[in-house]
Chains A and B, each alone.
Chain A
Amino acid sequence: QVQLQESGPGLVKPSETLSLTCTVSGGSISSYYWSWIRQPPGKGLEWIGYIYYSGSTNYSPSLKSRVTISVDTSKNQFSLKLSSVTAADTAVYYCAREKYDGYYYMDVWGKGTTVTVSS
């Protein structure tokens, strides 16, 4: 079955750029939406943005100025870049597959990776 695995630095300095990659295994990246979601410690889920396999993107209005999501179909990976990070960006970051078959739903999630913003 399809599995997602997040990877990237666990510690990022303030004002720098957070970079994460999600590797898709056991299936193709084609024909789905691929999202990044984060969860600050003790808080709820926050959608960051998604990329369609064709490359079109949509970002959360609150993060849009700092977010870039890209896809590499040859590697079955998609990536997140979040610039100018602060302590408020400390969170568990999840990647997820969103399916559309008349309904939209996120049916596969990665285990999540913890990113701490600190000097």
Chain B
Amino acid sequence: SSELTQDPAVSVALGQTVRITCQGDSLRSYYASWYQQKPGQAPVLVIYGKNNRPSGIPDRFSGSSSGNTASLTITGAQAEDEADYYCNSRDSSDNHLGVVFGGGTKLTVL
């Protein structure tokens, strides 16, 4: 099965822009989805598809994709954005349409 690779940790100054990346072969075939997880809580979908935000997700969250890399960008990071972020996608590498998650990126807002 494929793997999705994320940087373990990223930091950003309050109000600045940060990009979190996710790399993997499955992203050449399927768009990534992005999830925010705060301590003790379930993950929450923040971006899916080409660049779609579920209802209630602030427009400072955006997504993009090129080749085998997907990116989540937070423009004007807020203190409440400090969280773990996970990407995932469908994966057809084993002739089955499974699911794969990245290892997660811990975002610190300074």
The interface of chain A, by Cβ under 8 A from chain B, is: 35, 37, 44-47, 50, 58-61, 94, 98, 102-107, 109-112
Contact = CB atoms under 8 A, between A and B. Distances in A.
A103 B31 contact: yes
B44 to A, nearest CB: 7
A2 B48 CA distance: 19
19 contacts: A37-B101, A44-B84, A44-B101, A45-B35, A45-B88, A45-B101, A50-B99, A61-B94, A94-B42, A94-B43, A98-B99, A103-B49, A104-B99, A105-B45, A106-B88, A107-B45, A107-B48, A109-B42, A109-B43
Q: Could you tell me the dominant secondary structure of chain A's interface residues?
A: strand
B35 A46 contact: no
Contacts, number: 67
Interface in B83-101: 84, 86, 88-90, 94, 96-101
Contacts of A104: 30-31, 33, 89-90, 99
Nearest to A62: B1
Given A35-B99, A45-B86, A61-B1, 13 more contacts: A44-B103, A47-B98, A47-B100, A50-B99, A58-B98, A94-B42, A105-B49, A106-B33, A106-B45, A107-B45, A107-B54, A109-B42, A111-B42
A87 to B, nearest CB: 21
A92 B50 CA distance: 30
Contact of A103 (B43, B48, B94, B101): B48
Interface in B26-58: 30-31, 33, 35, 37, 41-45, 48-50, 52, 54
A109 B42 CA distance: 7
B33 to A, nearest CB: 4
Nearest to B49: A103
Looking at A37, A47, A103, A109, which has the most chain B CB atoms within 10 Å of its CB? A103
B24 interface: no
A47 B42 contact: no
Given A58-B98, A60-B98, A106 B35 contact: yes
